Amino acid sequence: MTVATTSRAATLERAVQAIGERSYWSAFPEHPKAYGEDAPGAGEEAFNDLLGEPFAIDGASGDFIDVAETSPFGIELGITYPASDVDTVIAAAANAMGPWGRLSVDKRADVCIEILETLSDASFQMAHAVMHTTGQSFLMAFQAGGPHALDRALEAVAYTYREIKRLPEPLTWEKPQGSRDPLVIEKSWITRPRGVAVLIGVSTFPTWNGYPGIFASLAAGNPVIVKPHPATILPLALLVRIARTVLTERGLDPNIVQLVVDTPDAPVAKELVMRDEIGIVDYTGGSAFGRWLEQNATHAEVYTEKAGVNSVILDSAADLGAVFRNLSVSMTMYSGQMCTTPQNIFIPETGVDVAGEIVSYEDAAAGFTSAIGALLGDDARAAAILGAIKGTDALVRLKDAAQLGTVLLESREVDNEEFPDAVVRTPVVVEVDGNSGLFANEMFGPIIFVVRTASTDESIRLAKESARANGAITWLAYTDSDQIRDAIIDAAVDAGVSIAFNLTGGLFVNQSAAYSDFHVTGGNPAGNASLTDPAFVARRFVTIGVRTEP
């Protein structure tokens, strides 16, 4: 145990270094092979054992409820979850807060990292849980749902730890009084948790989007009530069970982390967050409920990631083939169901300068479309890239989008050999005019707009307007011109959107690296869940000053 604590302290120290430097680092291996030969099979078995059974949690109520959890891959989940009651859960959380909040941040961080390590050991089980609830391909579910999410969680612990540790040790404050004796006061500072935290999970990336808020709150001393999305429960239920096991083994109150499961027919999020005891709400999901939280849960600190319309600005490039290879992946992986997926590609009708030669708008649009067609031409490869579609709304949008302009590439159904009931569609590529405004709202799912603009200036303006009006998390631009690069950076700054340039290699704009890339900026309606920066953690605790006359 001592050795392990030392190792966890070293991990924390390294994470604190990483958030300061922001260069590459990771604590959790993203290559499945790093977990040993037996891990894949054991993890799959552990997942299969969960199917069709009540999901037992020590200390939770003995009743179980049927839920609306679904698998986009079409398998029957059939898991029931402990029934809970808002009053009981909040009372238990409030009760757990005192002792947890009074532990040192070192101790709390140590517990948090032990939870993360235990989750890491369960990475294969978690991968299947994420895959079968979200529709992500196995590799994405493994990486984004496991190690990448754990890195984001550790990052949140490191930020919280660093903020609390910035307070000085107790000191003697001595103010000169001219010829008289100085004023001498002993001073110290105590931090305490803000209040019970609620995490409202998302259906697509429950762990990656959920862990940072959960672990920042925990490290700051706040008990956390985890309320998963009603259609994607299992991944966060696993987190809660593992967290409670670690807490119990440490002799701590397991109710520091609790699960509340609800159904679309009887949602509990509003009731939960509007209780006086709630001090923090973390939310990822649609804009309407995000705005409701921001406008109504004003007694709590609210961190949100809502919808966004991400853009690609195509101005000029050295190699258009390389551009389209990169874009065809980033715009199709997981069927556009990432909050960082580009939806719109703006191409000027004056064409694209490619190494000094102009490629016409039509040829550029055709090249982009055929790159997507080629990438997804083979069903096996398409299924691996696209994953499956979560929820039926995206299918409705897919149909609607085709009516908005000229269809450059039709969506088609893709067979998934392993999971014949999987819902898999290639994206529709629709051409619309820059003046139409039809692309300015988020159309979450496998929908891509090629937007014909008068010029790159207009492309920039349209990307900026849609980001300011409807939010955006990422932009990707291709240009060889320093002047245009500067103009795009200016627009990105105004629009509050992070920007990537000229990605043609192995990095995709969708990817956001822990310890290095900030997520949502807070500068537009997409929300403020930076995952993580000082603003994401600084209000999760309160500082009390103690002054004593000696």
Helix ranges restricted to H, 29-85: 39-50
Q: How, if at all, do strands 357-359 and 352-354 pair?
A: antiparallel
Query: Within a 10 A sphere around the Cβ of 542, how many other Cβ atoms?
Result: 15
User: Does the protein bind a copy of itself through residue 171 (CB under 8 A)?
Assistant: yes
Q: Select the residue interacting with a copy of itself from 6, 22, 48, 52 (CB under 8 A).
A: 22
Question: Helix or strand or coil: residue 338?
Answer: coil
The DSSP letter of residue 182 is E
Work out the burial of residue 485: count CB atoms within 10 Å of its CB; fewer than 13 is exposed, 13-18 middle, 19 or more buried. Answer: middle
- Residues between 223 and 252 that touch a copy of itself (CB under 8 A): none
User: Does the protein bind a copy of itself through residue 331 (CB under 8 A)?
Assistant: no
Contacts for 166 with CB less than 8 Å, ≥ 6 apart: none
User: Does the protein bind a copy of itself through residue 355 (CB under 8 A)?
Assistant: no
- Residues between 491 and 510 that touch a copy of itself (CB under 8 A): 492-494, 496-507
Q: Select the residue interacting with a copy of itself from 250, 397, 461, 539 (CB under 8 A).
A: 539
Contacts for 224 with CB less than 8 Å, ≥ 6 apart: 93, 196, 197, 198, 199, 214, 217, 218, 256, 257, 258
User: Does the protein bind a copy of itself through residue 518 (CB under 8 A)?
Assistant: yes
In what order do the strands lie in the sheet containing 316-317? Answer: 316-317, 352-354, 357-359
User: Does the protein bind a copy of itself through residue 534 (CB under 8 A)?
Assistant: yes
Could you give the CA distance from residue 155 to residue 480 in angstroms, rounded to a whole number?
35
Tokens of 34: 């790093």
Q: Which residue's CB is nearer to a copy of itself, number 43 or number 496?
A: 496
User: Does the protein bind a copy of itself through residue 325 (CB under 8 A)?
Assistant: no
Q: Which residue's CB is nearer to a copy of itself, number 359 or number 488?
A: 488
Q: Which residue's CB is nearer to a copy of itself, number 58 or number 549?
A: 549
User: Does the protein bind a copy of itself through residue 190 (CB under 8 A)?
Assistant: yes
Q: What minimum distance in Å lies between the beta carbon of 168 and a copy of itself?
A: 5
Listed residue (448, 243, 479) closest to 329, CA to CA: 448
Please count the residues of this chain forming the interface with a copy of itself, following the rule CB under 8 A.
68
At position 134, the amino acid (one-letter code) is T
User: Does the protein bind a copy of itself through residue 544 (CB under 8 A)?
Assistant: yes
User: Does the protein bind a copy of itself through residue 179 (CB under 8 A)?
Assistant: no
Could you give the CA distance from residue 468 to residue 81 in angstroms, rounded to a whole number?
40
Can you give 357-406 as a three-state secondary structure string?
Answer: EEECHHHHHHHHHHHHHHHCCCHHHHHHHHCCCCCCHHHHHHHHHCCCCE
Q: Which residue's CB is nearer to a copy of itself, number 24 or number 399?
A: 24
Q: Which residue's CB is nearer to a copy of itself, number 24 or number 381?
A: 24
Q: Select the residue interacting with a copy of itself from 66, 174, 249, 271 (CB under 8 A).
A: 174
Q: What minimum distance in Å lies between the beta carbon of 500 and a copy of itself?
A: 4
Could you give the CA distance from residue 393 to residue 464 in angstroms, rounded to a whole number?
27
Q: Select the residue interacting with a copy of itself from 265, 418, 482, 549 (CB under 8 A).
A: 549
Q: What minimum distance in Å lies between the beta carbon of 279 and a copy of itself?
A: 9
Q: Which stretch binds a copy of itself (CB under 8 A): 76-84, 242-250, 357-365, 538-546?
A: 538-546
User: Does the protein bind a copy of itself through residue 308 (CB under 8 A)?
Assistant: no
User: Does the protein bind a copy of itself through residue 37 (CB under 8 A)?
Assistant: no
User: Does the protein bind a copy of itself through residue 178 (CB under 8 A)?
Assistant: yes
Please confirm whether the linkage preceding 191 is cis (ω < 30° from 0).
no
By CB under 8 A, name the binding residues for a copy of itself.
20-24, 31, 98, 163, 166-168, 171-178, 180, 183, 185, 187, 189-190, 192, 194, 294-295, 298, 489, 492-494, 496-507, 513, 516-518, 521-523, 528, 530, 533-535, 538-539, 542-549
